[in-house]
Chain A
Amino acid sequence: MAGKTVIEKILSRAAGRDVQPLDRVWVDVDLAVVRDFGGPNVVLEYEQHFGDARPSDPSRIAMTFDYQAPAKVTKVAENQGICRKFAKKHGVESLYDVNRGIGQHVLLEDGRIHPGQVVIGTDSHMNLLGAVNCFATGCGTTDVVAAWKTGRLWFKCPPTLKVVVTGKYKYPTGAKDLTLFLINKLGTDLPNYRAVEFSGEAIDDLDLAGRLTLASLMTEINAKIAFFPPSPRVDAWLEGRLGRRVEPLEPDPDAAYRAKLGYSVDGLRPLVALPHYPTNVLPAGAAGVAGKRITSAFIGSCTNGRLEDFRAGAEALTRAGGKVHPDVMLTVVPSTAEVALAMLEEGLYDAYMRAGAMVTNPGCSLCTIGHHGVLAPGDVLVSTSNRNFEGKLGRGAEIYLASPATAAASAARGVITDPSTM
């Protein structure tokens, strides 16, 4: 029998039997997470079907409030209350309230996530936790209700693609540019319902923040999850959070892959995703792109919300003159309270605020229309998030996806700007 890929190992362990690609299996779920979006729906559906019945294991349930942190409309405040009440009733202790930040990031910081777990959540970007080889996936309400009740859920085991990336990054090009490059190359058909195992020197060179960026855009190419090779610095960080050694999780040398692809980052320039698809990628310096007037910029989201992202943004902002263009609104949103505190300590709040940016409390913010920064027709946003579908933040507006450096440089210049030209 051939060796196993990472996803095959995880699902085999969780199912208690040998799992091959395309097998449908029932597995134990290690953690079932809800947000303040999806969460109230889960609670109401759970109670509708199962009444006061205790969930199979409240210690394997978590709630994280980040969609509207804090609530700006009554319904959301009520929804958050519905979740808190359920948690209290059934002894769910892992409730990360509106002051904590984006769910996956908070859980990761809090030592709740490790390689080999099966984690589900009411958010399609749960799978960014593949950055630490956790099989995490976004689910609908019903899946989470089933997992809360039984502690188990069904999965179809995805076949695995192997993607090797070589070459060296040239400053200020980095993880987000790599990500946009790869999703454009891979498209949405080839990776459809696949696990992706990344490797190669350009992957080894990614820090945790970079892995989170790359892992977070798997959803946009229909891939189920991405996994990464062991990394001394990522493993050391994770061990610090877990308080124990991390067991590395690697594919067997004779694992079977559906396809193997190779790319290089040599010569990679800063890239943007043009309206209205994440895979619609061109260089930031391309004709028709560079020089396009913008009205808004956003640095944050589960894709680019780590301290390293805000450092990169601040550096690019400084290089571009240190001030946000008078015709542009720049919104800066730390992913978590921990990141926000670190930004404060490093003087990054100073840098952004003195530049004229708005720095908000942590959360999903204007990655979704839930909170800050709705766009009007004619608005043009350069965003470090992961989606730019038509109408997402308002009708008649355009969203370009980019790295923190590109977003910051553009915010300073008032037009889409390749940060490597400054």
Chain B
Amino acid sequence: MRFKGKAWVVGDEIDTDQIYHGQYLPLTDPSEMAKHALEFVPGKEGFVAQVKDGDILVTGKNFGCGSSREHAVLCLKHAGVACIVAESFSRIFYRNAVNLGYPVLECPGITAVVAEGDEIEVDTDTGEVKDLVTGKGATGVPLSDVESRISRAGGLLEFIKTEQP
């Protein structure tokens, strides 16, 4: 899939409490969860008020480390973030995104290429990312085999409805 949008950039080791704080774990409605996306990331307290549908999140290493809470993916998805490109993902966050059919791309070197606020293009099938302001690019690692089929089906639950695992 291809995306084009404004880049938001966060640093390394952003954990799930910063993405989606533990005090909001009781919420079950994703549109309510969206109101608290990145609330505890230092410097991004205003994110929810400013993010627009189609914006893209670019992150440093180990994004989404910590809890297995799927709320962390859902809040970003429902806040309008079209996809996430990371230097690296924490494995549970990555898996949750795949299971939800939500586009994620692991792309080492990405933070050297993208500046916050720049319009960027992302192709999750080829792994290509390009900063349209600077012209700089990087190539990430697309989803492999099983993950790709799950994501393309629209997520794990859609996948198990159509395939016999």
Contacts and interface: CB of A to CB of B under 8 A. Distances in A.
Contacts of B155: 142
Contact of A150 (B40, B91, B95, B160): B160
B17 interface: yes
Contacts of A188: 13, 62, 65
Contacts of B15: 387, 389, 392
Nearest to B24: A369
Interface string A1-42: 000000000000000000000001010000000000110110
Contacts of A68: 26
Interface residues of A, number: 48
Contact of A122 (B68, B99, B145, B156): B68
Nearest to B68: A138
A44 B71 CA distance: 14
B46 interface: no
Nearest to B101: A142
A70 interface: no
A206 B27 CA distance: 39
A140 interface: yes
B22 A79 contact: no
A142 B22 contact: no
Contacts of B42: 390
A172 to B, nearest CB: 29
A157 to B, nearest CB: 12
B96 A124 contact: no
B90 interface: yes
20 contacts: A24-B147, A37-B26, A41-B70, A73-B26, A79-B28, A123-B67, A140-B69, A140-B73, A140-B100, A142-B70, A142-B96, A142-B155, A143-B95, A143-B156, A154-B146, A188-B13, A192-B91, A220-B65, A387-B66, A392-B15
A387 B70 CA distance: 18
Contacts of B70: 38, 41, 140-142
A246 interface: no
A41 B26 CA distance: 9
Interface residues on B, range: 35 or more
Given A41-B70, A152-B165, A154-B165, A75 B26 contact: yes
B150 interface: yes
Contact of A222 (B17, B21, B23, B62): B62
Nearest to B39: A391
A140 B161 CA distance: 18
Interface in A50-91: 67-68, 73, 75-76, 79
A391 B27 CA distance: 19
A65 B79 CA distance: 29
Nearest to A279: B13
A200 to B, nearest CB: 26
A370 B27 CA distance: 12
A124 B62 contact: no
B112 interface: no
